[in-house]
Amino acid sequence: MLWQKELPGANVVIRGARVLDPAEGVDARLEVRIDDGVIADIAERVDANEHRVIEADGLVLAPAFVDPHVHLRTPGREDEETVASGTSAAAAGGYCAILAMPNTDPVVDSAATLGALVETARDEALVPVGFLAAITRGQHGEELTEMGELADTGAVAFSDDGMPVASAGLMRRALQYASSTDRPLALHCEEPTLSRGGHVHEGRVAAELGFAGYPSVAESVAVERDLSIAGYEGGRIHVLHLSAAESAEALRRARDAGVAASGEVTPHHLVLTDDAVRSLDPNVKMNPPLRAEQDRQVLLEGVRNGTIEAIATDHAPHAAHEKEVPFEAAPFGVTGLETAFAALYTHLVEPGVLTLETLLERMSAGPARIFGLDRPRVAAGASANLVLLDLDRGWTVGERPFRSRSGNSWLLGSPLDGTVRMTLAGGSVVHE
């Protein structure tokens, strides 16, 4: 279930664009007419009726993006992000749907808190937004939340993201109970006794700089544990923000064995390695940490072969004063909604590491499939959830103010190719 404020349905005709919808098998120069927010006609030539005509020669029209992993910081830290600002950032990034994590203050662990958020989304959300609810009360890892009532109130899935579910026994109970709600568990996999105190991937960079190491194995033992429990219980799990080669390989093996498991990876883990930490810039500090080149290569292979079905930003806004501190004192997390497509297009598609088709699939159809959302598509009869991309137009991150309330981007000052020219979400034009 997604919520969006009331907006007028779009009446537009988009002409001249290359229509590219990998999941529909469409790649052609076509015209698209949208009547009151619904795609009415796709053809080499469509009647404009009296609609506004958008000349899109040289642009790509694709299904808009879906981000299954966003921190909207509401309730509690509205100075860092609100539903309005976060969905505005999403619109600017080409997203037609985002899912917000429940690690807020208070934690989204009750129907009352979730219900209030849903009301806020109905008033403020520029882009349809859905909510995950916590697995455990207060995310303390001790008692299950009332998942049935939370699902009825609209929770898309359950997650203690930010914190691992440390107890294997509790994880099992969560999987058992969540199955009655037909919602997946989205898991932050971290063995806290192995990661404790770690700020940076345990490898040569951490050793040289003196950072406490957060080893790959702290993630992969937790991934393997949860895959084992999911395999035993038959429950459905989604592994958040994969960072280590061993984790991606464990996911592949489990999927091959028939475990109902999916995974996601962030743009920063696909582009950067722990070498970036040598800058000591707090904007490359995130959990899980940036890892080695070997890990990055395995993650990329996972995206290519479909082991990793989703690219998720893990958009984590932080106040400037919290990030303008020495690296070790800074909180984990970076923003990503406004830069994800351009970063991945520039650093992966242009050099030929990933095809544009794969990127579009993993940013849209993949995450929608995992969370049971309607797949954004360029097809007659579908609601208009579209993004118009100018692949040739470059820009520099930070040259214009962010829509997000926070500016803790790992890409500040870097030039990128690929500009989102227009976003339609839930049938409305939300960005142009």
- By the criterion CB under 8 A, which residues form the site for another protein? 197, 202-204, 206-213, 271-273, 275-276, 278-281, 293, 321, 324-329, 347-348, 351, 353, 410-414
Candidates 356, 335, 332; CA nearest to 344 is: 356
Cβ of residue 205: shortest distance to another protein, in angstroms?
A: 8
CB nearer another protein, residue 134 or residue 284: 284
- Edge-first strand listing for the sheet containing 38-43: 38-43, 31-35, 12-15, 52-55
In the complex with another protein, the residue whose CB is nearer, 280 or 380, is 280
Encoded tokens for 389: 């991309």
Residue in the structure block whose two tokens are 């093996």: 253
Question: Is the bond into 75 cis (omega within 30 degrees of 0)?
Answer: yes
In this structure, which long-range contacts are made by residues 143-150, counting pairs with CB atoms below 8 Å and at least 24 apart in sequence?
144/170, 144/173, 144/174, 144/177, 145/109, 145/110, 146/110, 146/111, 147/177, 147/178, 147/180, 147/181, 147/183, 148/180, 148/181, 149/111, 150/109, 150/110, 150/111, 150/114, 150/181
Smallest gap from residue 412 Cβ to another protein (A)? 7
Residue type (1 letter), 380: A
Check if the beta carbon of residue 71 is closer than 8 Å to that of residue 315: yes
Min dist CB 402 to another protein, Å, is 16
Active-site residue identified among 21, 226, 295, 314: 314
| Complex with another protein: residue 208 or 256, whichever CB lies closer | 208
Q: Is 314 a catalytic residue?
A: yes
Question: Judged by CB, which is closer to another protein: 258, or 326?
Answer: 326
- Strand partners of residue 26: 21
Residue closer to another protein, measured from CB, 38 or 412:
412
CB of 355 to another protein, least distance (A): 15
Q: How far is the CB of 276 from another protein (least distance, A)?
A: 5
CB 92 within 8 Å of CB 401: no
Q: Are the CB atoms for 132 and 238 separated by under 8 Å?
A: no
Residues labelled catalytic? 314
